[in-house]
Structure formats: structure tokens, C-alpha cells
Amino acid sequence: MTEKKELHLPDHIKEKMFMVRNKAWYEEEYADCKSIRGRFHQYFVHGYLLDCSPWKRDADNCERWTKNQDRDSLEELIDSETKRREERLKPFTENEVWEPRTSPPGNWNSPLPEWMVEEYKTSYLGIKASEFKDLIADKGTSLCNIM
């Protein structure tokens, strides 16, 4: 019987390991980036073709981490995901148009106007919600599952 060797990773790495995706994810992103459809989309949106090598490098690092528990590959993968995340959130963090709220508006849970309640009753969503409530009431069960 083979024993799993214990990994001793620093806390700053353990805290960010949730960012690491499955190797198949990185391979799929790389394939999509290199595809004709992906290239057309890149050219249409950005006006130039993007560099796909980070996805390939991440897939390779993920494989080295998964197979050999290579700590350097894991750290490089986490750095790459951190940079990707910062880039994705840049428009939000550098926004100067909207002021972030510190609390919800005072009337966030006030009742809906009567016309909206009446309109909801005859909408597709309202009808399906009513059917679902009836179904649950007939079975006498709840939607809460505790495992």
C-alpha cells in the first residue's frame, strides 16, 4: 500500500490554492485561445491576437504540480491566477464613475408596487412558481437537504 507523502506548504500558498483549476480547464482555455473562432473573437474585440502561451504554461505547471507535487510549479500557477484575477477586476477597482456602497439603501426590502405584483401573477415565472409551491405542498416536503 502506498502512503501519501505529507506536503508542508506555507500558509500564503495554502490560502490561495483555491485559485488552482483542473488541468483540463487550462488545456481547454488554451485550445479555445488558439482556435479560429477564438482568434476571430480576439481580433474583433481587441484589434489584435492575444498571446495564448500563458494558458499552455499554466497547463504544464498544473500537470507538474499534480504528478510530481512540484512546489515551484504550484507557486507559478498561483501567481498566474493572481495576475489574471487582478486584470479581470481592474475595471471594477479603478472605477471612478460609481461610488461603492457601504450599506444597502434604506428601502431595499420595501414591498413591490401593486401593479408589479399583479403582473407577476400572470407571468410565466409567476405561474411556474405557483405550480412549484403546489407540488411541494402536495408532497409535504421541503427543499432543504441536510447531508
pLDDT tens-digit readout, 60-115: 999 999 999 999 999 999 999 999 999 999 988 898 888 888 899 888 999 989 99
Residues 143 and 135 sit within 8 Å (Cβ to Cβ): no
Please give the Cα distance from 62 to 147 (Å, whole number).
32
Residues 78 and 17 sit within 8 Å (Cβ to Cβ): yes
| Residues, the chain | 147
What pLDDT, on a 0 to 100 scale, did the predictor assign at position 3? 46
- Residue 70 has, within 13 A of its CA and on its CB side, a CA count of 13
Specify the DSSP class assigned to residue 99. Answer: P
Q: Which three cell numbers stand for residue 46?
A: 481587441
Specify the DSSP class assigned to residue 16. Answer: T
Largest CA distance in the chain: 69
User: How many other CB atoms are there within 10 angstroms of residue 55's CB atom?
Assistant: 22
What pLDDT, on a 0 to 100 scale, did the predictor assign at position 54? 96
pLDDT grade, residue 2 (50/70/90)?
very low
What is the per-residue pLDDT across 5-52, written as a single tens digit (0 to 9) for each? 556 788 888 899 999 999 999 999 999 999 999 999 999 999 999 999
Long-range pairs, 23-26, Cβ under 8 A, ≥24: 23/59, 23/62, 23/63, 23/66, 26/55, 26/56, 26/58, 26/59, 26/62
Does the model's pTM come out above 0.75?
Answer: no
pLDDT grade, residue 133 (50/70/90)?
confident
What pLDDT, on a 0 to 100 scale, did the predictor assign at position 87? 94
pLDDT grade, residue 138 (50/70/90)?
confident
What pLDDT, on a 0 to 100 scale, did the predictor assign at position 115? 94
